[in-house]
Structure 1
Amino acid sequence: MTPRDGSDVYGNNRWSDLDRPPLGEAGLRRSLLRGDGLWSSLEVVPRTGSTNTDLVTRASSGAVAEGAVLIAEEQSAARGRLDRRWSAPPRSGLFFSVLLKPGEHEVPVERWGWLPLLAGVALATGLSSVAGVDTALKWPNDLLLTVGGEERKAAGILAERAGADGVVVGIGLNVSLRAEELPVPGAGSLALAGAKVVDREPLLRAVLRSFERWYLEWCAAQGDPGVSGLQATYAAGCATLGRAVRAQLPGGRDLVGEAVAVDGDGRLVIAGSDGTREPVAAGDIIHLRPA
């Protein structure tokens, strides 16, 4: 129950920043939950540690079905790739996780590694259609926007296994962050990139509808990235390809070369100066020169 003064159960006034109104759970449910669609449930919580952690716990206990969507207005312990911490002011972005069960669609486990890249494509294409900004993906799934002539990271994606047959994919997108609120110098937001829409509800609807379309087409192709068109679309929007990069690999080894392809397993193929090509499945990629 919300107190009469407008504050939430955590004592934060939900109208303290009128540029950042709360999400309307009922309206989102009406527009996104359909009997023949992917999304099966949708919940908005005012604050939590991590939507990924919460949804993994629920999925592991069998409490939710595929297509569950958990959204938080604020996260206090959000995590990104390589266990990096991520934070943002309340209601300044979209912070949500979804539960997928590709095995139920006969997608082989060896193709599940495409899910984070699929989420990146869904996010980029969904935003481009509504927000009116140019987007690009840094391998594997960081969303880049142009702010002041520079590429800035505005979103990250984290996929985690949930039980024996589930994968939880979490997305954190900076929407209305102002320059003084950015957590690190290389961060950006839709507002700073000049997006024509910064209302979070139409943005969320567009992203989830895009995600639904890409996921169901990928499942229909039994996870084949070529047949579903996912591999080609990802490559077309990947800012890493064609650039000199440094890959900081697990174990402390660095690999320097040109990023030349994304292979059928979603790995980044790096060509060295000696002509050798090495696929990278995990690591931190640093762009060494502009596109």
Structure 2
Amino acid sequence: MTSAPESFPRPPLDAAALNAVLARPDGMWERIEVVPEAGSTNTELAARARDGAPHGSVLVAEHQSAGRGRLGRGFSTPPRAALTVSLLLRPTVPVGRLGWLSALMGVAAVGAVRGTTGVEAALKWPNDLMVPKASTTRPERADGKLAGILAEIDFSSGAPAVVVGIGINVSQSREELPVATAVSLRGEGATDLDRGVLLASLLGEFEELYTMWAAAEGDAEAAGLAAVYRDTCVTVGHRVRVHLPDGRVLKGTATGIDADGRLVVDGPEGERALSAGDVVHVRPDR
């Protein structure tokens, strides 16, 4: 893996400025903490949650050296090249509705990326932020992964504490990205690569969505979250190959997302609703 040219600007985040704008007395965010390095922001914030850290705590790492994705996948990012952030939430909603929080993060990220950079991001079920092939100026490539989302729930203190993390590729060069299918905002021609602006937009979008979702007691349909998620999810309406944990592959058409956030696939044996825990991969069936 090669480094980006030194002339490419990667300024540090300004924690004081972010807190001045986002950590309002009447707002959701308790404190935005920016650390020079963390193995995993999710792991670090989950440990703080067990020590009693409050709802609305935000942890950002300038350099994440041992990030964790779905199914235990690991990754790292060059210093100040990505936006790696985790949020601590203590929602008082039915436990069965907590699964919507990763989707909520995805919808917030789509809004933030589109609004601040002009890149037409979308969602791939269950937890990836994508730049679809149709919206790129490079038709030779497939859909590109811009970010991954990971939500984890801890019940050690009784009431659930949820840590939701996202790592958005911002200024990485092609050579700095971990896999061939990954893309960065820089590579997709973003109009703005200011991570502070992107973070402020992400937290603003998340707070608005979360406030409505929590007021609806976690009912994503009533809050309007489910409808927005469906509108931004490129998986729906396409033929897919679903790789199941037992090694089988389910082929069919992704017909929708149900009220519990499960992917509905119409296959040879009829419709089947799949949760994120039921699958290994969901890929286009070409």
Q: Which runs of 4+ in 1 moved over 3 A?
A: none
Q: What are the superposed Cα offsets for residues 98-119 of structure 1, whole Å, 9 maximum, x if unpaired?
A: 001112xxx1111001111111
* Structure 1 residues 138-287: aligned runs within 5 Å: 138-146=124-132, 147=136, 148-149=138-139, 150-162=142-154, 163=156, 164=158, 165-274=160-269, 276-282=270-276, 283=279, 284-287=281-284
Q: Is it true that 1:34 corresponds to 2:24 in the alignment?
A: yes
CA contact (8 A) 1:248 1:254 kept: yes
Q: TM-score, normalised by structure 2?
A: 0.91
Q: CA deviation at 1:17?
A: 6.0
The one-letter amino acid of 2:152's match is E
The one-letter amino acid of 2:153's match is R
Task: Report the identity percentage.
Answer: 49
* Structure 1 residues 116-155: aligned runs within 5 Å: 116-146=102-132, 147=136, 148-149=138-139, 150-155=142-147
CA contact (8 A) 1:145 1:190 kept: no
CA–CA distance in structure 2, aligned partners of residues 140 and 192 of structure 1? 24
Q: Which residue in the other structure is 2:3 paired with?
A: none
* Structure 1 residues 49-60: aligned runs within 5 Å: 49-60=39-50
CA–CA distance in structure 1, aligned partners of residues 116 and 11 of structure 2? 19
- Structure 2 residue corresponding to 1:88, chosen from 77, 89, 92: 77
Q: Matched residue of 1:226: which SS?
A: helix
Stretch of structure 1 that moved more, 146-155 or 43-52? 146-155
CA contact (8 A) 2:12 2:80 kept: yes
Count the aligned residue pairs: 269
CA–CA distance in structure 2, aligned partners of residues 251 and 216 of structure 1? 38
Q: Which runs of 5+ in 1 are unaligned?
A: 1-15
CA–CA distance in structure 2, aligned partners of residues 202 and 108 of structure 1? 33
CA–CA distance in structure 1, aligned partners of residues 285 and 81 of structure 2? 31
CA contact (8 A) 1:145 1:189 kept: no
Task: Classify 1:266/1:192 alpha carbon distance in 2 versus 1 (closer, same or farther; 3 Å).
Answer: same
Q: Which runs of 5+ in 2 are unaligned?
A: 1-5
The one-letter amino acid of 1:288's match is D
Q: TM-score, normalised by structure 1?
A: 0.90
* Structure 1 residues 3-18: aligned runs within 5 Å: none
CA–CA distance in structure 2, aligned partners of residues 244 and 114 of structure 1? 24
The one-letter amino acid of 1:263's match is D
The one-letter amino acid of 1:26's match is A
Q: What are the superposed Cα offsets for residues 3-62 of structure 1, whole Å, 9 maximum, x if unpaired?
A: xxxxxxxxxxxxx66510111110011011011111001110001111100100010111
CA–CA distance in structure 2, aligned partners of residues 167 and 253 of structure 1? 31
CA–CA distance in structure 2, aligned partners of residues 288 and 206 of structure 1? 34
Q: What are the superposed Cα offsets for residues 74-107 of structure 1, whole Å, 9 maximum, x if unpaired?
A: 111101011111222111010010001112xxx1
Q: Matched residue of 1:241: which SS?
A: coil
- Structure 2 residue corresponding to 1:109, chosen from 85, 91, 95: 95
Q: What are the superposed Cα offsets for residues 194-246 of structure 1, whole Å, 9 maximum, x if unpaired?
A: 11111111011001100111111100111111111111100001010111111
CA contact (8 A) 1:128 1:134 kept: yes
The one-letter amino acid of 2:284's match is H
Q: Matched residue of 2:183: which SS?
A: coil
Q: Which residue in the other structure is 1:12 paired with?
A: none
